[in-house]
Amino acid sequence: MDVQLHADCAAPRQMTSEKEVGVYAELIRRCLKNDRRAQQLVYQKVHGKMLALCLRFFQNRDDALAVMNRGMLKVFNNLKNYRPEAEFEGWVYRIIQRTAIDELRKQIRRQQHEIHPDDPEDGEVYPDAVSRLQAEDILALTRKLPQATNAVFHLYVVEGYNHQEIADMLGISSGTSKWHLSSARKTLKNLIENLNV
C-alpha cells in the first residue's frame, strides 16, 4: 500500500511572501534583543504548523505540545545562527522535526528492546477505499498506530527518508524500521477496510 499524501502534509514548501520575509526579519531582530513580545509573535505565527508536525509523531496532544515547546526553545536559543537567505519557517520546521526525532529516539532507548518479528504481510488495500480518503483522513488513522510505528511511517511516507536514514535518526536497525513500516501498512490496511468507505 503506497499512500500518497498531499504536499501540504510535509515541510513547508511555499515561499514566504516578501511582506512576510520583512515581518520575520523585524521579529528576528527584536528576538535577538530578547524582546518577549516578538518571541510570542513568532511562536504564534508558527504554532499551528509546528504543532501539526509534532502531532504526526506523538498521538498525545500534550506530548506533542511539550516537544514543540522544547523545539521552539531551541529555535530562540539558536536564532543567532539563522541565515536570512533560508526560508524561516522551513528552518524552524527542521529544528522542531529534529527535536521530535530526538525525543522518539530517547523513548525507543527507554524501551530497551528491538523487534525481530517475521516480516508481516503488507497485504493489498482496496484502491477504491484509499482513493476516497483525504490526506487528513489517513493522517488521522496514523495516530492510531503505536508511537514508534507512526514515526517510522511518517518519516518514510510523508518525509521521504529511506530505512537507513530513519534507523540512524531513531537509533534502531534498518530492519526494525522496515518492520515498523510493514506493521503500519498492515494496521492501516485493516483500519481502512473497516471504514467501509
Q: What's the rounded mean pLDDT across residues 16-39?
A: 85
Of the pLDDT bands very low, low, confident and very high (cuts 50, 70, 90), residue 194 is confident
Q: Please work out, in degrees rounded to the nearest 5, the angle formed at the alpha carbon of residue 163 by the alpha carbons of 126 and 191.
A: 25
Q: CA-CA distance, 184 to 138, in Å (whole number)? A: 12
Has residue 2 been placed in a domain? no
Residue 40 shares a structural domain with residue 77: yes
The last residue of a domain, from among 85, 111, 137: 111
Expressed as residue numbers, the domain containing 185 is 127-195
Has residue 119 been placed in a domain? no
Query: Within its chain, how far is the Cα of 91 from the centroid?
Result: 14
Q: CA nearest 153: which of 172, 178, 170?
A: 178
Domain CATH number, residue 132:
1.10.10.10
The three three-digit cell numbers of residue 16, written as one number: 514566504
Residues 6+ apart with CB under 8 A from 85: none
Please count the structural domains in the chain: 2
Residue 107 shares a structural domain with residue 12: yes
Residue 15 shares a structural domain with residue 97: yes
Q: How much is the pLDDT for 35?
A: 94
**Model confidence at 190: pLDDT above 90:** no
Has residue 101 been placed in a domain? yes
Please indicate whether residue 99 or residue 140 has the higher confidence score (pLDDT): 99
CA distances (Å), 165 to each of 99, 152, 160, 168, 171, in order?
16, 10, 10, 5, 10
Please indicate whether residue 140 or residue 27 has the higher confidence score (pLDDT): 27
Q: How much is the pLDDT for 90?
A: 93
**Model confidence at 197: pLDDT above 80:** no
Q: CA-CA distance, 15 to 21, in Å (whole number)? A: 9
Domain CATH number, residue 16:
1.10.1740.10
User: For the segment 79-96, what is each residue's pLDDT rounded down to a tens digit?
Assistant: 999 998 889 999 999 999
Q: Are 11 and 90 in contact (CB under 8 A)?
A: yes
Q: CA-CA distance, 193 to 196, in Å (whole number)? A: 6
Torsional class of 2: left (φ above 0), alpha (ψ -120 to 50), beta (otherwise)? beta
Q: Are 88 and 28 in contact (CB under 8 A)?
A: yes
Q: How much is the pLDDT for 119?
A: 43
Instruction: Name the least confident of 18-32, 106-120, 152-166.
Output: 106-120
Amino acid at 116: H
- Give the long-range contacts of residues 60-69, CB within 8 A, separation 24 or more: 67/96, 67/99, 67/100, 67/103, 68/96, 68/99
Please indicate whether residue 173 or residue 18 has the higher confidence score (pLDDT): 173
